[in-house]
Chains A and B, each alone.
Chain A
Amino acid sequence: MFHRNDENGLTREIQDYLDRETQRNIDRGMNPEDARRAARRKLGPSARVLEDTRAAAHGRLFTWFEMLLRDIRHGLRMFAANPSFTLTAILSLAFGTGANVAMFSAADALLLRPLPVPHPREIVNLGVEFSTPDFTLLRASYPDYVDFRDQNRSFKGLLASTSITAGFAAEPGASAQVMPAMAVSGNFFDVLQIRPALGRGFRPEEDQVRGRDPVVVLSDTLWRDLGADPKILGRAVRIAGIGFTVIGVAPESFTIADCAFYIPLAMWPTITGQPNLLDSRAALSLTVKGRLKPGVSLASAQAEIETIAQNLRRAHPETNRSTRFTLKTELEMAIVSNHVYTALSGILGILAIAVFIVACANVAGLLTSRAPLRAREIALRLAIGARRGRLIRQLLTESSLIALAGALLGLPLAYAGIQWMRRIHYPTDLVTVPRIELDQRALAFSILIAMSSVILFGLIPAIQTTRTNLAAAFKSGAGVETGKRRLWGRNLLVAIQVAFSLLLLTLATFAYRAFTGELTGAAPFRTTHLAMLSLDPKLLRYSDADTLRLYQTLTQRASSIPRLQSLALGSAVPIGRVIPAVVNPEGFALPRNQPYATVYTSAVDEHYFDTLAIPILRGRGFATTDASGAPAVAIVNETFASRYWPAQDPIGKRILVNGVEWVTVVGVARNSRYLFVTEPPMGFLYLPYRQLPAAAMTVFAATSGDSTALLAPLRKLVQQIDPNMPIYDAQTMEHYYDARAVSVAHVITQIIGAMGLMGLAMAMVGLYALMSYSVSRLTREIGIRMAVGADRSNVMQMIARQGMLPVLIGIAAGLALSAATGRSLHAAFPLRYTYGPETYLLIIPLLLSIALLAAFLPARRASLVDPMTALREE
């Protein structure tokens, strides 16, 4: 470093002074030893002289940096001399910061991050609330939307949108590709304040007349897929076989999940071939978002919405009699729109915070346990004249070095965690792409907390030591331990450490068991020897009769495929696509403000239950005779039956579906999983597809052999029936289940397991350091007791009493903490699992034995030493 020369010169100069002064004193007749002592006294504390002279020679700022460098050098030397301490502290902080940043980034992507539009906080959602235990949706009909849009004064604008699927051909002759897209109101881009990257957005008049304006705005993704042609505006493309003109390209910043392009809402009936799609007030098919005017509160907007809804109820009693419109912010929507991942984010978040607290407590413990070692060094330096502020500054620098190193190492860990979590495919209805990015606020926050905890605990010993009297510090090798207060602080630290370790470990064990339980248990439906592909005849504008005929032909001809056991149709796919419906189960009194219950449904054929191995527990399955004209029937699952008709026979009960049709229950199917592997049991309604032809269907084919071998013949079969029929999602169930269920659960269990292990490792190290330190503080007492005749067992008892008390208190606090967390988790999220007592039976003995071991080893060492040595050592 710099001025090494200068530094030597300065030391030499001081030495020169001392020599001369000594000589002078000798010349006056003093003996050499007295002469040297007098010279030193005359000069004053040499450390301070050196320091002051340095400061005078170089100026303040220069000295400040010089001192910083000196402190850093000193700190690095200290770290190199204590590698295990340094490594443990840095790794603890790295784990804590990394886990915290990764989890917060995930939560941010899933829940907190607003829409990628200007002033996202002004955006709110409007609609009728559909609530199930698993998700909440807000939906509105087109006529209601138009009334709200035109009558309100709270919003700058209200937009409506719906997700669609349509075949897209880049040029008239090309073959169409099925793509997810959105039909949006004419003011969509204006309300969101999105300026297209190329061309323009829709004009309000472009959603006025049905079918008049075939214009399309491409997403940035699709535009790039088509070759990123800057002259694409005006190009003719075909959507669902209809010619459209490209008028714009959305900016890259506004990328919406599963949306390749945007068309005006008025074109939606045209491309689906259902001319009255937007006419019914009963068809709650649109998502409505609005931008609040500045200064308008959510409450006053809600009040205005209520007034308009009141008028609608009066004007259209047949459809709006019992509808209630609510407003929800984007964040509220994100939280309620999928409880499963809110629960997941919640659990992972709590785990990450617990890891972080344990990490900080860990480092605090390590620093505290090292305090007496430092005390001696500090006392020495105080004695040669170093100033208190200077020493505190040095300790601060060292602490900051640890915190900084921990945080820096935490960064790659956070990145690794984020990469890991990106593998989770969340079953989400979110509009925006939940892409997890490293969150800088989380990083800053974590570093800040880590820094302050390290600095706080690094400083406490410094301040206490620098305040003590030097003589005492020198006499006792282990430092300047006195007073109940300090013992208290350390015991508190032990208790906190134990409590949060317990919380972390119970949560991790609980979550781990919840997810692995799902994986090791058999899936409640067939997941092997099954192939599937999806068709949507509506894309070719098939009529209902044509659709039915297509599926019938397909079912009949499929028997020619070798090794095919059975073929089934279903409109929903397990652990994936589901179709919600509103129902009124007969004889069940819904809560007063809830006009109907929402459940998931699937339209299935008569082979569905056999093919997917979902047994019918009571009553019968569907039959070919359950066709249009025959009495409308339905099959419910166990949860549906027990929720709405507890202790009653569900067979023969009736259900009003979507407010229009009564169906009679003819059977009860075993519960399956519909959305997510760890979902709680949920009600489900099966309807015969012949009575409710759903256009888009997934074909499930079971085989005795390899399911991959079925895919090609199935495709060929569909193409023989209609060469133009688009096929999508052709895959084996093995592949699908692995991607949607197994790997997701694996990633989650890995994350939880990793956090649990990190927590366990840190708890062990931290607890050991603190405990053994606490007990080593008792060495003198042990010595005295042994000297006055106590035997080893007495000593051990004393240690057990004093050392283990904070551990026991911590365990009690941890039990209370984890019970409370468990309860609030259950209250907030419908999880099926509870902590079993076996979780505690595993964890409490573990923590106790670590603590006992940590107390026992130093106690044993202390009790083995000769009492006199122990006393002298103190």
Chain B
Amino acid sequence: MSTGPRQNLAAKDRIDLLQGTLDMLILRTLLFGPAHGHTIAHSIESGSDEVLQVEHGSLYPALHRLVRQGLLSAKDGLSENNRKAKFYSLTAKGRRHLMRESNKWDRLSAAIGRIMRPTES
């Protein structure tokens, strides 16, 4: 069996992504610049210290959906090892969408936090 980073974390501590949340995370990842699918998947995983699990198979449908919605643009380019690869980058529309979504997310997580930990707020 392989010893991927996934195995370092007990299964009960991993969180599957909510529907729609993956889209936001992809957009957030691309805020730093264009990337291809593999990089995006691993950035999300490592960025969350392996807590968030991306089903890599579901990443590609999400990427293509975002392209169709005009939030991302895809461009064929050469990767670091000189191979043809598809790079995704954020469009202006995607940027606006991300702002809205992250505002929404902040309000939502704050609200949930108040309910879950009323004494700490």
Residues of chain A having any CB pair with chain B under 8 Å = 9-10, 12-14, 16-17, 19-21, 24-25, 28, 30, 34-35, 37-38, 42-46, 48-49, 52-59
B42 nearest CB neighbor, chain A only = A24
CB distance from B4 to the nearest CB of A (A): 6
Given contacts A34-B2, A38-B4, contact A14 B56 (CB under 8 A): no
Q: Which 8 A-B pairs have the closest CB atoms?
A: A44-B57, A57-B64, A38-B2, A56-B61, A56-B65, A52-B61, A20-B38, A49-B57
Contact flags (1/0) for B72-97 with A, using CB distance below 8 Å? 00001001000111100000000000
Given contacts A16-B86, A17-B38, contact A42 B65 (CB under 8 A): no
**Could you tell me how many residues of chain B have their Cβ less than 8 Å away from some Cβ of chain A?**
27
Kindly state the separation between the CA atoms of A404 and B107 in the bound complex, as whole angstroms. Answer: 57
Contact B4 A43 (CB under 8 A): no
Contact B60 A13 (CB under 8 A): yes
Contact B61 A49 (CB under 8 A): yes
Given contacts A16-B37, A30-B2, A42-B4, contact A53 B55 (CB under 8 A): no
How many A-B contacts if CB must be within 8 Å? 80
Contact B83 A49 (CB under 8 A): no
CB distance from B85 to the nearest CB of A (A): 5
Contact A25 B2 (CB under 8 A): yes
Contact B65 A57 (CB under 8 A): yes
Which residues of chain B from 25 to 43 have a CB within 8 Å of any chain A CB? 36-38, 41-42
Taking CB atoms, residues of chain A closer than 8 Å to B19 are none
19 contacting pairs across A/B (C-beta < 8 A): A9-B76, A16-B38, A16-B83, A16-B86, A17-B60, A20-B38, A24-B38, A25-B4, A35-B2, A43-B57, A44-B57, A45-B57, A52-B57, A52-B58, A53-B61, A55-B61, A56-B63, A56-B68, A58-B68
B3 CB–A CB distance under 8 Å:
yes
A30 nearest CB neighbor, chain B only = B2
Kindly state the separation between the CA atoms of A53 and B63 in the bound complex, as whole angstroms. Answer: 8
Residues of chain B having any CB pair with chain A under 8 Å = 1-4, 36-38, 41-42, 55-58, 60-65, 67-68, 76, 79, 83-86
Contact B38 A14 (CB under 8 A): no
Taking CB atoms, residues of chain A closer than 8 Å to B61 are 49, 52-53, 55-57
Taking CB atoms, residues of chain B closer than 8 Å to A19 are 83
Taking CB atoms, residues of chain A closer than 8 Å to B42 are 24
CB distance from B84 to the nearest CB of A (A): 7
Given contacts A44-B56, A45-B57, A57-B67, contact A9 B2 (CB under 8 A): no
CB distance from A39 to the nearest CB of B (A): 9
Contact A12 B4 (CB under 8 A): no
CB < 8 Å neighbour of A17 from B2, B37, B62: B37
Kindly state the separation between the CA atoms of A20 and B41 in the bound complex, as whole angstroms. Answer: 12
Contact B36 A16 (CB under 8 A): yes
Taking CB atoms, residues of chain B closer than 8 Å to A21 are 38, 56
Contact B37 A13 (CB under 8 A): yes
Kindly state the separation between the CA atoms of A16 and B76 in the bound complex, as whole angstroms. Answer: 12
CB distance from A308 to the nearest CB of B (A): 79
CB distance from A383 to the nearest CB of B (A): 15
Kindly state the separation between the CA atoms of A42 and B76 in the bound complex, as whole angstroms. Answer: 24
A16-B86, A49-B57, A53-B63 given; 4 more Cβ-contact pairs under 8 Å: A10-B60, A21-B38, A44-B58, A57-B68
Taking CB atoms, residues of chain A closer than 8 Å to B3 are 28, 30
Taking CB atoms, residues of chain A closer than 8 Å to B76 are 9
A50 nearest CB neighbor, chain B only = B60
CB distance from B59 to the nearest CB of A (A): 8
Contact B56 A43 (CB under 8 A): yes
Taking CB atoms, residues of chain A closer than 8 Å to B62 are 56
Given contacts A34-B2, A57-B68, contact A13 B56 (CB under 8 A): no
Taking CB atoms, residues of chain B closer than 8 Å to A58 are 68
B85 nearest CB neighbor, chain A only = A16
CB distance from A677 to the nearest CB of B (A): 73
Given contacts A44-B55, A56-B68, A57-B68, contact A14 B4 (CB under 8 A): no
Taking CB atoms, residues of chain B closer than 8 Å to A45 are 57
Kindly state the separation between the CA atoms of A17 and B36 in the bound complex, as whole angstroms. Answer: 9
CB distance from A569 to the nearest CB of B (A): 92
CB distance from A62 to the nearest CB of B (A): 10
CB < 8 Å neighbour of A48 from B1, B57, B83, B86: B57
Given contacts A12-B84, A57-B65, contact A49 B60 (CB under 8 A): yes
Kindly state the separation between the CA atoms of A866 and B113 in the bound complex, as whole angstroms. Answer: 74
Residue of B2, B4, B84, B85 most packed against chain A (CB within 10 A): B2
CB distance from A540 to the nearest CB of B (A): 90
B81 nearest CB neighbor, chain A only = A23
CB distance from B81 to the nearest CB of A (A): 9
Taking CB atoms, residues of chain B closer than 8 Å to A53 are 60-61, 63-64
Contact B68 A59 (CB under 8 A): yes
Contact A14 B2 (CB under 8 A): no
B4 nearest CB neighbor, chain A only = A38
A6 nearest CB neighbor, chain B only = B64
Kindly state the separation between the CA atoms of A44 and B65 in the bound complex, as whole angstroms. Answer: 19
Taking CB atoms, residues of chain B closer than 8 Å to A56 are 60-65, 68
CB distance from A32 to the nearest CB of B (A): 12
Given contacts A12-B84, A28-B3, A35-B2, contact A42 B68 (CB under 8 A): no
B64 nearest CB neighbor, chain A only = A57
Taking CB atoms, residues of chain A closer than 8 Å to B41 are 17
Kindly state the separation between the CA atoms of A42 and B58 in the bound complex, as whole angstroms. Answer: 10
CB distance from B86 to the nearest CB of A (A): 5
Kindly state the separation between the CA atoms of A742 and B7 in the bound complex, as whole angstroms. Answer: 90
A12 nearest CB neighbor, chain B only = B84
Kindly state the separation between the CA atoms of A3 and B37 in the bound complex, as whole angstroms. Answer: 21
Taking CB atoms, residues of chain A closer than 8 Å to B56 are 17, 21, 42-44
CB distance from A58 to the nearest CB of B (A): 7
CB distance from B13 to the nearest CB of A (A): 19
Kindly state the separation between the CA atoms of A6 and B68 in the bound complex, as whole angstroms. Answer: 13
Taking CB atoms, residues of chain A closer than 8 Å to B4 are 25, 28, 38, 42
Kindly state the separation between the CA atoms of A17 and B55 in the bound complex, as whole angstroms. Answer: 13
Kindly state the separation between the CA atoms of A30 and B2 in the bound complex, as whole angstroms. Answer: 7
B6 nearest CB neighbor, chain A only = A42
Kindly state the separation between the CA atoms of A56 and B68 in the bound complex, as whole angstroms. Answer: 8
Taking CB atoms, residues of chain A closer than 8 Å to B38 are 16-17, 20-21, 24
A38 nearest CB neighbor, chain B only = B2
Residue of A9, A17, A25, A46 most packed against chain B (CB within 10 A): A17
Residue of A9, A16, A45, A46 most packed against chain B (CB within 10 A): A16
Kindly state the separation between the CA atoms of A25 and B4 in the bound complex, as whole angstroms. Answer: 7
Taking CB atoms, residues of chain A closer than 8 Å to B58 are 44, 49, 52
Kindly state the separation between the CA atoms of A19 and B84 in the bound complex, as whole angstroms. Answer: 12
A20 nearest CB neighbor, chain B only = B38
CB distance from A386 to the nearest CB of B (A): 14
Kindly state the separation between the CA atoms of A364 and B57 in the bound complex, as whole angstroms. Answer: 39
Taking CB atoms, residues of chain A closer than 8 Å to B85 are 13, 16
Kindly state the separation between the CA atoms of A24 and B56 in the bound complex, as whole angstroms. Answer: 14
Kindly state the separation between the CA atoms of A14 and B64 in the bound complex, as whole angstroms. Answer: 12
